[in-house]
Amino acid sequence: MGILSDGYVMGDRIGKGGFGTVYKAIKKLTDRTVAVKKLERDKFPDRIEEEIRALERMRHRNIVQYYESFDEGGYKYIVMEYCEHGDLRSYLRRNGPLSDKEAAHVLSQLIDAVSYIHRQMLMHRDLSTGNVLISHITRGVDDDEVKLEVKLTDFGLATVMRPGTKGAAASVVGTPGFVAPQVYLENYSKEADVYSLGALLYSMTTGKSPPDIRPSRREPQAELDLRSLSPEAADLIERMMCKDHKRRIQLNG
C-alpha cells in the first residue's frame, strides 16, 4: 500500500499484461474506487502517449472510461473506471464456455464498441479476451443464463488510420491467436479487428484459445475446432475469421 502524490491510495494488484501492471486504488478526495495502470515511462514513451490519446477520445458504455493520467518516479499512471469482475479470459477459465445466447450478448456490445472506435478513425489492434473487462454479471431468475456487461480496454496498440495509407498500419502487434493473418504480412486495416472479434467469439463459445497462426511457429498450423458448436455459431466464426480479408464479413457502419 502506498499513497501517490495525486491522492490515490493504491490497493491490490489486479492484473498484469505485456506492458503494464494494474492496481485497484481509491481516490481519497472522492472515495471512488478506480483502476490504475502503471507503466515504465521510458520503455515505450510514444506507445504510452498514443494509448492515453486514444483513451481520452473514447466515450462509450462498452469502453472503459478514462479519468486522468500523471507521472511519478519514472512511471506513468493511467487512471480509469474499475471493472469489478475482471477480464473475460479469467472468467472463461473459471466458468467454461458461454452459451450462444450469452456469447451473442457480449459480441453485440463489442461490435458496438469497435464500430465506434472505427468511426473515430482508430483501430484497436489488440482485441482479445484479456482486454475485455466485465462490469456487471446478472443471472436469469428461472434459468441459469448469465448476462455479462462488458467494456473494452487496453488501447496500448490502438493506431490512427492515417489518410493516404489506406488505413494500413505496418507493424506486427497483438495477442497470438487473436491476430489476423494479414497483420503478419504487415498490411492491414480495420478488417483485422473483425478477425479478432471472430477469435473472441470462438474463445467464448468453445472456452479455448484461438489457434496461433504466427508464421514463425514451427509446429503445423492449428485449425479451428468448431465441432462442439451450433451450426450458426460455427458459420459466423468462419465468416469473421476468414483468412482472406477481402472476403471477411464486415461491420455495419
Ligand X SMILES: Nc1ncnc2c1ncn2[C@@H]1O[C@H](COP(=O)(O)OP(=O)(O)O)[C@@H](O)[C@H]1O
Q: Give catalytic residue positions.
A: 126
Distances (CA, A) of 110 to 83, 150, 153, 165, 240: 16, 8, 11, 26, 14
Binding partner of residue 123 among ligand X, Mg ion, none, CB under 5 to 8 Å per kind?
none
For the record, the C-alpha cell of 74 comes out as 519514472
Rounded to 5°, angle at Cα 63 from 150 and 175: 80
We find the least distance from the C-beta atom of residue 50 to Mg ion, in angstroms, to be 15
Our finding on whether 80 is near ligand X (CB under 6 A) is yes
Q: Can you tell me the distance from the alpha carbon of 54 to that of 52, in angstroms, rounded to the nearest whole number?
A: 5
Helix (H) and strand (E) counts in the chain: 5, 9
Count of other CB atoms within 10 angstroms of residue 118: 19
- Binder of residue 87, out of ligand X, Mg ion, none (CB less than 5 to 8 A by kind): ligand X
Q: Which of residues 35-64 bind ligand X (CB under 6 A)?
A: 35, 37, 64
| String marking each residue 84-123 x if it binds ligand X according to CB under 6 A | --xx------------------------------------
178/195 with CB nearer Mg ion: 178
Each residue 118-157 as x (binds ligand X by CB under 6 A) or -, in order, gives ------------xx-x-------------------xx-x-
List alpha helices for the chain, DSSP H: 45-57, 88-95, 100-119, 191-206, 231-240
Q: Which partner, Mg ion, ligand X, none, binds residue 82 by CB below 5 to 8 Å per kind?
A: ligand X
Measure the CA–CA gap between 228 and 103, rounded to whole angstroms.
Answer: 14
Regarding 15 and contact with ligand X (CB under 6 A), the answer is: yes
Name all contacts of 64-70 with Cβ < 8 Å and 24+ positions apart.
64/35, 64/133, 64/151, 64/152, 64/153, 67/34, 68/6, 70/4, 70/5, 70/6
177 binds, options Mg ion, ligand X, none, Cβ within 5 to 8 A by partner type: none
How many CB atoms neighbour CB 87 within 10 A? 23
The answer to whether 193 contacts ligand X (rule: CB under 6 A) is: no
> Residue 233 binds which one of ligand X, Mg ion, none, with CB within 5 to 8 A depending on kind?
none
Q: Does 67 bind ligand X (CB under 6 A)?
A: no
**38 annotated as belonging to a binding site for a ligand:** yes
Contacting Mg ion within 183-242 (CB under 5 A): none
Contacts with ligand X, residue ranges (CB under 6 A): 14-15, 17-20, 22, 35, 37, 64, 80-83, 86-87, 130-131, 133, 153-154, 156
Output the known binding site: 38
